[in-house]
Amino acid sequence: MKDIIIIGGGPAALTAALYAGRAGLDALMLEKQYEGGQIVTTNEVENYPGFRSITGPELANTMYEHAKDFGSIMKYEEVIDIKIDGDIKKVVTGVNTYESKVIILSMGAKPKKIGIDREEELTGKGVSYCATCDGGFFRKKIVAVIGGGDTAVEDALHLSRIAEKVYVIVRRDSLRANKSAQKKLFETDNIEIIWNSGVTKLNGEERLSGIEIKNNKDGKIDNLEVNGVFVAIGSDPSSELVKDLVALDKNGYIIADESCKTNVDGIFAIGDIRTKEVRQVLTAAADGAVSIYGAEKYLINH
Ligand code: NAP
């Protein structure tokens, strides 16, 4: 019987594991893919205190090693079910069933789809959701980024160093990204912003060869020849596994306040998967620490 099972392996989970280990609790992390979560797909992180500039994979690896220093263990297993039996929580993976007193849900979020025809068919054939992973395939090519948030702007800046030309397609007449990133975007010569527009069609036979864009103000349709399109329009919570276990809001985020407590005693939600205003590595890490404080109190009383 474990004290705590942490499901997920991103910054929130890794911080919870570090704090759990340091508090002398027996914690197990279960991660289906790789440690680090979404930061692994981030080229540069420049707003995590203590690191002026660090790549996402380096930060993830540092956090992972730090958690391991305090004795926390990670297993690469996908959780397929969670069962509650009184105070005991059973976590079922493809290969094992584990028992625990506390569960910390930290499954994060996954990129949103645009929701247009042929998006799935052309994924990996010109359509991508990860500029850091796939940018290298577009050396000296023409690409488009869809979105106007921090992810889209960072992706565009990253791609501008690889591709010949980068279009950024923004559905409004302003960006949501932070001002410092916006400034860099506006100052980059091979980036062109197409305002008030959305992608309405993906062109090409075997591979993407272009996109149709529609101006949201005058309805004008244009076709752009591009070799790749990077979708960066936000993310959806990976909460499918727990939709019948804990309360979710209408967008699928697990309802939990700053204490990270869900509506089920002994189950906490941390990082991007929980309802919150600001989703950053820093706020995810903070949740990880807070949840262990709550978990310790729960364990004392049970
Ligand atoms: P986001 O902040 O939600 O921005 C999504 C962007 O995509 C917005 O410009 C939005 O437009 C646009 N959009 C949404 N749905 C769309 C659709 N169907 N078609 C076209 N455009 C659409 O998402 P994000 O950029 O992935 O960032 C998520 C969170 O992570 C944010 O809190 C962000 O600050 C954080 N983040 C931080 C960093 C950093 O600090 N270094 C880096 C990456 C992400 P509207 O503005 O019109 O809604």
pLDDT band at 273 (very low <50, low <70, confident <90, very high): very high
Report the candidate in 136, 137, 173, 166 with the shortest Cα–Cα distance to residue 152.
166
Q: Which residues line ligand 1 (CB under 6 A)?
A: 47, 114, 146-152, 154, 171-172, 176, 198, 232-235, 278-280
pLDDT(46) > 90 = no
- Which pLDDT value is given to residue 18? 97
What is the 86 CA–ligand 1 centroid distance (Å)?
Answer: 40
How far is the C-alpha of 134 from the C-alpha of 145, rounded, in Å?
Answer: 13
pLDDT(45) > 90 = no
pLDDT band at 44 (very low <50, low <70, confident <90, very high): confident
pLDDT(244) > 90 = yes
pLDDT tens for each residue of 124-134: 999 999 998 89
- Tracing tokens 């807070």 back to the chain, one arrives at 290
Angle, CA 161 vertex, CA 159 and CA 165 arms, to 5°: 65
pLDDT(142) > 90 = yes
31-45, 138-152, 178-192, 206-220: which has the minimum mean pLDDT?
A: 31-45
Q: For a pocket test of ligand 1, which of 114, 173, 176 has the largest count of ligand atoms closer than 8 A to its C-beta?
A: 176
What is the 171 CA–ligand 1 centroid distance (Å)?
Answer: 11
Nearest CA to ligand 1 atom 9: 148
Token reading at 218: 């005058």
Mean residue pLDDT across the chain? 96
Nearest CA to ligand 1 atom 34: 150
pLDDT band at 196 (very low <50, low <70, confident <90, very high): very high
What is the 177 CA–ligand 1 centroid distance (Å)?
Answer: 7
By the 8 A CB rule, do 141 and 227 touch? Answer: yes
Residues with catalytic function: 130, 133-134
Q: Which atom of ligand 1 is nearest to the CA of 279?
A: 32
pLDDT band at 120 (very low <50, low <70, confident <90, very high): very high
Give the mean model confidence (pLDDT) for residues 46-68.
93
Q: Is 258 exposed, middle or buried (0-12, 13-18, 19+ CB in 10 A)?
A: exposed
Q: Is 119 exposed, middle or buried (0-12, 13-18, 19+ CB in 10 A)?
A: middle
What b-and-e string marks burial along 142-164, b requiring 16 or more CB atoms within 10 Å of the CB? Answer: bbbbbbbbbbbbbbbbbbbebbe
Count the alpha carbons within 13 Å of 261 in the hemisphere toward its beta carbon.
11
Map out the domains of the chain with their CATH numbers. 2-110+235-301 (3.50.50.60), 113-231 (3.50.50.60)
pTM of the model: 0.85
Could you tell me whether strands 228-231 and 127-128 are parallel, antiparallel, or unpaired per DSSP bridges?
parallel
- Which pLDDT value is given to residue 67? 94
Nearest CA to ligand 1 atom 18: 114
**% of residues, the chain, pLDDT over 70:** 100
pLDDT tens for each residue of 157-193: 999 999 999 999 999 999 999 999 999 999 999 999 9
What is the 75 CA–ligand 1 centroid distance (Å)?
Answer: 31
- Rounded to 10 degrees, the C-alpha dihedral 88/92/98/103 comes to -50
